[in-house]
Amino acid sequence: MTFAEFLPLFFMVVMGLSLLAYVILDGFDLGVGLLLPLGSDTQKDTMIASIGPFWDANETWLVLGVGVLLVAFPKAHGVVLQALYLPVAVMLIGLILRGVAFDFRSKAPLPYKPFWNRAFFAGSLIASAAQGWMLGSYITGFDNSLLGWTFSLAIAITLPAAYVLLGSGWLIMKTEGELQDKAVRWAHRALWPMAFSLIAISVATPLVSEQVWDKWFAVPEFLMLLPVPLMSVLALVAIHWVSARPALVNAGYGWLIFANTVLIFVLAFFGLAYSLYPYVVIGQMTIHEAAAITQSLTVTFIGVAIMVPLIIGYTIFMYKTFWGKARALTY
């Protein structure tokens, strides 16, 4: 493989892993936002404090992923953003609303605090549902038929449920006492609706995409890929086992809920990556067809090689510095 052939693959990996990092890292704080109405006033402050040092920096990964799409795959960027212009705009409105509500809820006069709590929840829901719709549209190759719209709607509903489970797992690790007990119950209740939706979408995806069907159900590929759904099922069972036994959480095993939820996200990502490869836009444009010229990719490669380690480094430093139980919310 020549360097010119390697560059598009490199940028595809960087873009994919950046979006995976965003879904996991920003996913838990979106989940906390979706759970916010269920907490008491004091618990709401603790829930916000649990994501306070992290939520803004987590969105760096979204900027990186979309930036790589723009610079490394400009043809695909035009197709994707043209097809997803409206849901992208809706997602940005949700993210902006979350950002404004995050700061204003603690600085506005006390009578207005409930309004900003609701705004934070609304922003989280809008952003989550929009991301689900975009993912569903992308998988179907931007199919505008009734089947395509139904599939996108199903993922728009499913992704917020998955974020709720992820957010519950985060709160279990970051809080204690009554709020932690509530988070365990939230995780237990969110698990099976999310699991049912995940299974239904996994069954439906090959039906809406002929390429996915051919990749997953041919032999021997089917046997080689069988560990992916089996590991997902085991992760769901592990989450159920821990969330149904609060004594295990009190004994220090609550982190298993968050870890297994992350594992499900990772397995889903690599399953999707395998299904789509070598396309950037499924059925329309391959990686090499969409890539910028080699000279442009070479210059971009230098910048990415410098910036990505820096982003990884400060992300690790941030989580290490602010790890531990959430403290009282202060400004």
- Mean pLDDT of the region 282-309: 91
- Kindly report, residue by residue over 9-33, the tens digit of the pLDDT: 999 999 999 999 999 999 999 999 9
Instruction: Decide: helix, strand or coil at residue 328.
Output: coil
40-49, 95-104, 119-128: which is most confident: 119-128
138-142, 223-227, 265-269, 279-283: which is most confident: 265-269
Share the mean pLDDT of the chain.
Answer: 89
Q: Residues 6 or more apart from 157 whose CB is under 8 A from it? A: 129, 132, 197
What would the 3-class secondary structure string for 190-249 be?
Answer: HHHHHHHHHHHHHHHHHHHCHHHHHHHCCCCHHHHHCHHHHHHHHHHHHHHHHHCCHHHH
Answer whether residue 210 shows pLDDT above 80.
no
Pair of tokens at residue 81: 């953003």
What gap in Å lies between CA 155 and CA 159, rounded to an integer? 6
Q: Residues 6 or more apart from 316 whose CB is under 8 A from it? A: none
Per-residue model confidence (pLDDT) at position 330: 57
Identity of residue 78: G
Instruction: Decide: helix, strand or coil at residue 325.
Output: coil
Query: Would you say how long the chain is, in residues?
Result: 331
End-to-end CA distance of the chain: 53
Per-residue model confidence (pLDDT) at position 68: 92
- Mean pLDDT of the region 265-283: 87
What gap in Å lies between CA 52 and CA 280, rounded to an integer? 34
- Kindly report, residue by residue over 123-176, the tens digit of the pLDDT: 999 999 999 999 989 888 888 888 888 888 888 988 999 999 999 999 999 999
The number of C-alpha atoms within 13 Å of 60 and in the hemisphere containing its C-beta is: 13
Q: What is the largest CA-CA distance in the chain?
A: 64
Q: Where are the domains of the chain?
A: 10-321
Answer whether residue 96 shows pLDDT above 90.
yes
List, as one string, the DSSP characters of 14-66: HHHHHHHHHHHHHHHHHHHHHHGGGS-HHHHHHHHHHHTTTHHHHTHHHHHHH
The class (CATH top level) of 10-321 is mainly alpha
Answer whether residue 269 shows pLDDT above 60.
yes
DSSP bridge partners of 279: 286
pTM of the model: 0.91
Q: Residues 6 or more apart from 174 whose CB is under 8 A from it? A: 50, 324, 325, 326
Nearest-CA neighbor of 176 among 252, 241, 256? 252
